[in-house]
Amino acid sequence: MTLTTARPVSDETIPIELRRASRKKRPSSPGRRLFVVVNVTILTSFSLICLLPFVNVLASSLATPGELASRAFILWPETFTLDAYRYILSTPTIFRALGVSLLVTVGGTFVSLVMTAFMAYALSKRHLRGRRVINFLVVFTMLFSGGMIPTFIVVNSLGLIDSLWSLIIPVAINAFNFVIMRSFFQAIPDSLEEAARIDGCSELGVFFRIVLPLSLASIATIGLFYAVFYWNTYQSAILYINDSEKWPIQVLLRQIVIVASGLNANESAVDVVPPAQSIRMAVIFVATLPMLLVYPFVQRFFVKGALIGSVKG
């Protein structure tokens, strides 16, 4: 007669439906309900406070000159007007500037993601010789930069003045984004890569078939960081771009604000030019809107990618 030992029952062997049925819903106490109400109220209040400046910007851009002069803070204009938007969109140059910013943002984000991913993957390997020195040099740039004048000399020596590449190449790899992606790659189990190599994958095959599909959250998060940075390019364009036809949207909108301020100072009160404050608010909204449209599509990756990449490693 053969005796068999009973296999201990664990939570993993129990079907998920039975586990859910076995868990009884704990009755919430008055203290817990009070905590939930207070927590939701505080978080909602903070969210509305963070949203108020943007609502004020949008409302001020749609308000009439008289209302802007009489009210310091506007959340809902009494009379809506699109004069500010008609003014800043009256010239085709703004659409050209939007195209330049879009080109720099898309191209720069792609180049930065490719270079950051390859560099982070290589330096995440502990067997790579000299990785500590290279990692130290990259992190060192987070504390000390080369400076404006040396960077301008390098860009000028490479012949990138008045080229859109001058807005991409000098800032192609961000040290902070590199550290996040490297930490994410280090958190991927080595057994997955070893299994892929046993199946005949090369190093590039492992990277493209195993590592990248597992790193979508981190890539989407860092891609958003890069996209926002390139879209807000201003100082680099001021330094390296002399041709006004190659100005990105941020530089052109600054010029529009300056011109509008001069017109408001010289023109009479009955002139059709909108007030400078209304134009400034419309400029801020136009410059912010594209990033607001992109963010919802990557928001679900944002917290996951940032936390995993910065905590594990």
In this structure, the answer to whether residues 114 and 53 fall within a common structural domain is no
User: Do 108 and 168 touch, CB atoms closer than 8 A?
Assistant: yes
Residues 113 and 155 in one domain: yes
| Contact present, 282 and 61 (Cβ < 8 Å) | yes
Q: Mean of the pLDDT values across residues 137-161?
A: 87
User: Cα 90 to the chain's mean position, in Å?
Assistant: 29
Name the residue with higher pLDDT: 18 or 75: 75
Residue 121 sits in a domain whose CATH number is 1.10.3720.10
Amino acid at 46: F
**Residue 16, domain member (yes or no):** no
Residues 291 and 54 sit within 8 Å (Cβ to Cβ) = no
Residue given tokens 């990033």 in the structure block: 291
Is the domain of 216 the same as that of 73? no
Q: Are residues 216 and 129 in the same domain?
A: yes
List the domain range (segments joined by +) for residue 262: 84-311
Least confident piece of the model among 15-19, 24-28, 62-66? 15-19
Give the model's confidence band at 114: pLDDT under 50 very low, under 70 low, under 90 confident, else very high: very high
| pLDDT higher than threshold 90 for residue 113 | yes
Report how far residue 302's alpha carbon sits from residue 306's, in angstroms, rounded to the nearest whole number.
Answer: 6
Do 120 and 161 sit in the same domain of this protein? yes
Is 106 within the bounds of a domain? yes
| 76, 88: one domain | no
Q: What is the pLDDT of residues 158-199, one digit of tens each?
A: 888 988 999 999 889 888 889 888 888 888 888 888 888 888
Whether 214 shows a pLDDT value over 70: the answer reads yes
Whether 46 and 113 map to the same domain: the answer is: no
Helix (H, G, I), strand (E, B) or coil at 114: helix
User: How far apart (Å, rounded) are the C-alpha atoms in residues 101 and 169?
Assistant: 15
**Is residue 8 scored above 50 in pLDDT?**
no
Phi, psi at 271, each rounded to 5°: -70, 155
Kindly state whether residues 31 and 106 are assigned to the same domain.
Answer: no
Residue 19 binned pLDDT confidence (cut-offs 50, 70, 90): low
Please state, in angstroms and as integers, the Cα–Cα distance from residue 150 to each residue in 145, 155, 171, 289, following that order: 10, 9, 14, 34
Region 73-96 average pLDDT: 81
Q: Considering its fold, how many domains does the chain have in total?
A: 2
What is the length of the chain? 313
pLDDT band of 89, cuts 50, 70, 90: confident
Please name the residue that has the structure tokens 């500037």.
Answer: 97
Residue 27 pLDDT more than 80? no
For the full predicted model, state whether its pTM sits above 0.85: no
Question: Tokens for 307?
Answer: 């936390």
Q: Cβ(183)–Cβ(312) under 8 Å? A: yes
φ, ψ (nearest 5 deg) of residue 282: -65, -40
Same domain, 192 and 256: yes
